[in-house]
Chains A and B, each alone.
Chain A
């Protein structure tokens, strides 16, 4: 019954998507009023997608094991939170989530259409075409509502890794909001190519939509890293795993676009490049979906093998050939010719930023797919892992940080040396003093010294600039500082995001260089020293929970004579998995995290073996990620007050 309802929802959405394409194209050709004729299609898409998702959730919550998806990814004992999150714990359900989010974006785009909006109507048609693909996938190869002839008494339950942490309920939807959101700028890019109108208005729109998707993608990536840190128990948060890379790739190119769009707005340059970046970004999201969902890379994220792979690959080829083919045929219509007056200018730094981000994306792309391509064509197996990626990522990241420091305070057109020096001398001094202090307190690796110094450089530059602008205004200093982000949200939102990224960079450098791991075996009552802490094994414990058996150890953490608390690293035994899944226990501190992961605990004996880790400044990573998200949203939601002269230039900066 509920399966039929869900199935009808999928069909309604599919038919509506077709209607959106037809109506969108008609509006585009007839130059007609887009709103009224598209309304039904958009409404149908949203209702269909909501019904499909609703039916899936109802089936999960009511333990309807007649549906194959529920039987495979849910069990009676699964807690409610993970029952709800079960809707995106496997392939078919995650496509439903994809469709729902796409429908939401469609509605959002539709509501922002203006009268006689030809480009907007064409963009909706493109979104409709993407929706046709995904809902057709649900109707065929990835049907979440397929039923079983033999209804089992209980389900198997989702992959244990996916029902171990609350972040599993938040990370995938956030990531999808970012991933699916990239469809909207792509649709506008295609619309611009078809109509030959790559105007300022088009750019402003596309940049704002990209900001929405980019903000959620940033948050999704950081939450994914956090999930990895809190759940996987190997102490890390990023492994250059192909599926992690898949989310990072579109982030890199979208970041490049957000910057190069400013160059187009201010200087009329790079129009064609911007369109290419957007098409590339969307292609990378489809590539990412292909990598994650086809099982082509077996990794912790690719839990499924299915027939969806070929369909996604075909769609990827269609997007690549269609998008870049159109670009090759009609790119000249939106191309711009103005050239750079000087490399030493804001535009010059933006170009450096674009080159580095594109290079970064290319390196990650090559490193990710090279092993698969090589194996597919020659059968040879090679690995490309952390050390290879780090070799490029560290220098590129450091130069990007440097560009982040000089770019925002470099004048457009031509930057004369005296002007640059006057603006940069305070940040440069801050960087020098910070580097000296870092060295004096004994921190060594050159990457850490450089990262900390550059972080001081970037942040001092932003603070100095904010101070100058606020002083040049009539109101009180503090109230003017508070009002800054609202005065030019595009700029100051970006600066907020820069601060967040700097914190992330510092956290990465510290945890990478000073992370410590030690395997410790203890008897009950015994203590061991670990990096200035004392760990005492108090007692083991066993808990029977509805969906799993939890075996753990209570370990007291002390520093000198002060008890800091107890940590309870656990091993979770799920009925559907032979291997127990560890849940590490983390004590977060201002200076550092102490992280315990249970390796072995014998039921009969009194010994326990844990991996103890120490990671400095981890909280900076999560905080930085949140700040980046906030900065992105600030840029999106804040609307520049039109009466204002862009102050940071009026002030002569």
Chain B
């Protein structure tokens, strides 16, 4: 097989698979998200160190998960349920602290590092292939003229 054919085969295979994936994902029924599980994963078990209500084997967590299920069944919104838990157990109950207020830094600091790191890498690349300045250009021209004279 020549290089050309291999490349065409590769492009075809990748495109066909991508098309297939998009088609299947687009037509599939969105599975109903398990709200109870999702909420219980975001809330901390009040008697544990770092486990969520969903993970914790403690009896209290089992009861609280059942409570969440009841609340969902009664038509509470996610926000209402979360607010209820904050009112009961304090903000500590949130395993995923909000991107504002006292926990804003948690979100800001990594973002600063990411941006700063990317900037550092990009400047290191530019350093090698930078354009000559007007002054440097003039001096190179002079040197060339001098040499060719």
- Using CB atoms and an 8 Å cutoff, list the residues of chain A in contact with chain B: 233-236, 239-242, 297-300, 339-343, 348, 351-352, 355, 358-359, 362-363, 366-367, 370, 374, 378, 380-388, 391-392, 421-422, 425-426, 428-429, 432-433, 435-436, 439-440, 444, 449, 519, 582, 597, 599, 611
Contact = CB atoms under 8 A, between A and B. Distances in A.
Give the 6 A-B residue pairs with the shortest CB-CB distance, closest first.
A385-B95, A432-B17, A387-B96, A425-B10, A436-B17, A339-B128
A359 B62 contact: no
Given A242-B50, A378-B102, A439-B20, 15 more contacts: A234-B55, A236-B55, A339-B128, A340-B127, A382-B94, A384-B95, A384-B97, A385-B52, A386-B41, A386-B50, A429-B14, A435-B17, A439-B21, A582-B57, A597-B57
Given A239-B51, A435-B17, A444 B106 contact: no
B50 A363 contact: no
Contact of B21 (A340, A359, A384, A435): A435
B102 to A, nearest CB: 6
Interface string B106-120: 100110011001100
B91 interface: yes
B90 to A, nearest CB: 7
B124 interface: yes
A383 B42 CA distance: 11
Interface string B37-48: 000011010000
Given A382-B94, A428-B10, A432-B17, A362 B106 contact: no
A596 to B, nearest CB: 12
A235 B28 CA distance: 31
8 contacts: A234-B55, A339-B124, A343-B125, A359-B114, A381-B91, A385-B96, A386-B55, A432-B14
Interface string B76-91: 0000000000000011
B15 to A, nearest CB: 8
Contacts of B125: 339-343, 348
B38 to A, nearest CB: 9
B18 interface: yes
Contacts of A362: 109-110, 113
Nearest to B90: A381
A235 B52 CA distance: 13
B110 A383 contact: no
B31 interface: yes
Contacts of B117: 355, 358-359
Contacts of A234: 51, 55-57
Given A370-B106, A440-B24, A387 B41 contact: yes
Contacts of B97: 382-384, 388
Contacts, number: 142
Nearest to A390: B96
A412 to B, nearest CB: 14
Interface residues of B, number: 50
- The CB with the most chain B CB atoms within 10 A, among A374, A385, A436, A449, is that of A385
A439 B25 contact: yes
A239 B55 contact: yes
B91 to A, nearest CB: 6
B1 interface: no
Contact of B95 (A342, A351, A380, A386): A386
Given A359-B117, A439-B24, A381 B92 contact: yes
B6 interface: yes
B120 to A, nearest CB: 8
Contacts of A343: 121-122, 125
Given A299-B50, A359-B117, A366-B110, A444 B102 contact: no
A383 B92 contact: yes
A383 B102 contact: no
A458 B142 CA distance: 53
A441 B91 CA distance: 42
B114 A433 contact: no
Contacts of A242: 50
A502 to B, nearest CB: 20
Interface in B41-71: 41-42, 44, 49-52, 55-57, 62
B3 interface: yes
B95 A387 contact: yes
Contact of A382 (B14, B31, B103): B103
